[in-house]
C-alpha cells in the first residue's frame, strides 16, 4: 500500500485581495488568526513570520483582524463595488470613505428638517 501526502494549497490571489499584511511590520503574534471569523488566515509554520492568507475570497471584510493587530501590519482592501464615494458637483472633486484629508462634514439640515415627524399646516402630525 502506498502512502499519499495531503497538502494545503492557497487559493490564487485575485485582484480583490481582501487582507494585506506588511511582513516588515508584522511580528507573527497570530492574534489576527485567532479572531478571524472565517479562518481566512492560518498561522505561519515559521515562528515570527506573518500569517498565511489562505482563502482571501472567503473574507467577510469584518476587519476584526485589523482591529486586533497590535502592530498595525494588516490593511483591508475592499472590493471596488463596496467602496463608498461621492463627487462634488460644483468642483468635480471625488471623495471616498477612509481617504486622507476628507472634506469637512455637511452640517446643513436635510430637506424637511432633522425630526422624523414634520408638522403639517393643519396642525396634524404626519410621519
Per residue in 49-76, pLDDT (tens digit) is: 999 988 888 888 888 999 999 999 998 8
Q: What number of other Cβ atoms are within 10 A of residue 23's Cβ?
A: 10
**Torsion angles phi and psi, residue 32, rounded to 5:** -70, -35
| Digit-coded pLDDT (tens) for 66-118 | 999 999 999 888 776 667 777 888 888 877 766 777 777 777 887 887 765 55
What pTM value is reported for the model? Answer: 0.55
Provide the 3-class DSSP secondary structure of residue 118: strand
Q: What number of other Cβ atoms are within 10 A of residue 50's Cβ?
A: 22
User: Which pairs with CB-CB distance under 8 Å and at least 24 residues apart come from 79-88?
Assistant: 79/16, 80/16
| Digit-coded pLDDT (tens) for 4-59 | 887 776 655 556 678 889 999 999 999 999 999 998 899 999 998 999 988 888 88
- DSSP designation for 14: P
Domain ranges of the chain: 19-79
Fold of 19-79: Alpha-Beta Plaits (3.30.70)
Q: Say if strands 125-126 and 118-119 run parallel, antiparallel, or are unpaired.
A: antiparallel
Amino acid at each position: 500500500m502506498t502512502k499519499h501526502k495531503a497538502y494545503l494549497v492557497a487559493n490564487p490571489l485575485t485582484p480583490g485581495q481582501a487582507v494585506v499584511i506588511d511582513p516588515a511590520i508584522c511580528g507573527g503574534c497570530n492574534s489576527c488568526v485567532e479572531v478571524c471569523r472565517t479562518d481566512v488566515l492560518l498561522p505561519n509554520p515559521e515562528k515570527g513570520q506573518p500569517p498565511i492568507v489562505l482563502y482571501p475570497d472567503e473574507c467577510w471584510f469584518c476587519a476584526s483582524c485589523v482591529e486586533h493587530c497590535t502592530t498595525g501590519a494588516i490593511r483591508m482592501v475592499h472590493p471596488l463595488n463596496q467602496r463608498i464615494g461621492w463627487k462634488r458637483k460644483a468642483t468635480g472633486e471625488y471623495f471616498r470613505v477612509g481617504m486622507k484629508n476628507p472634506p469637512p462634514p455637511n452640517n446643513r439640515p436635510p430637506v424637511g428638517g432633522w425630526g422624523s415627524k414634520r408638522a403639517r399646516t393643519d396642525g396634524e402630525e404626519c410621519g
